[in-house]
């Protein structure tokens, strides 16, 4: 009864290789890794610059406070200390870049 099945399995394993056929026939761990979806990766550059808020928006710090600030007025220097909230278009991009 099993002679025909085992004979064809043996012929296939010689052509392909034993691990591919045994994993697909028996449903082993090799097929589990092939069936799973790939992970969504976080964009690390965006993750270092943007932080998620509780209301679903994102916030970042302003640039330009390290050096060469003498040319700026004191009001504009103080204004750079305030965080910036993302716009609607930026939120669509950031939702894709920061999935977690």
This prediction has a pTM of: 0.59
Which is more confident, 5 or 89?
A: 89
What CATH architecture applies to the domain 44-97?
Irregular (4.10)
Region of residue 56 (left: phi > 0; alpha: psi -120 to 50; beta: else): left
Tens of pLDDT, residues 8-51? 656 656 666 555 544 555 555 666 656 678 889 999 999 999 99
Q: Centre a 10 Å sphere on the Cβ of residue 37 and count the other Cβ atoms it contains.
A: 5
Tens of pLDDT, residues 39-77? 899 999 999 999 999 999 999 999 999 999 999 999 999
């Amino acid at each position: 009864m099993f002679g025909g099945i085992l004979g064809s399995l043996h012929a296939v394993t010689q052509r392909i290789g034993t691990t591919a056929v045994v994993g697909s026939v028996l449903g082993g761990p090799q097929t589990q890794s092939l069936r799973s979806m790939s992970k969504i990766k976080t964009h690390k550059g965006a993750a270092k610059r943007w932080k998620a808020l509780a209301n679903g928006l994102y916030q970042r710090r302003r640039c330009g406070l390290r050096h060469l600030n003498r040319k700026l007025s004191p009001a504009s220097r103080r204004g750079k200390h305030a965080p910036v909230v993302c716009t609607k278009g930026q939120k669509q991009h950031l939702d894709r870049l920061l999935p977690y």
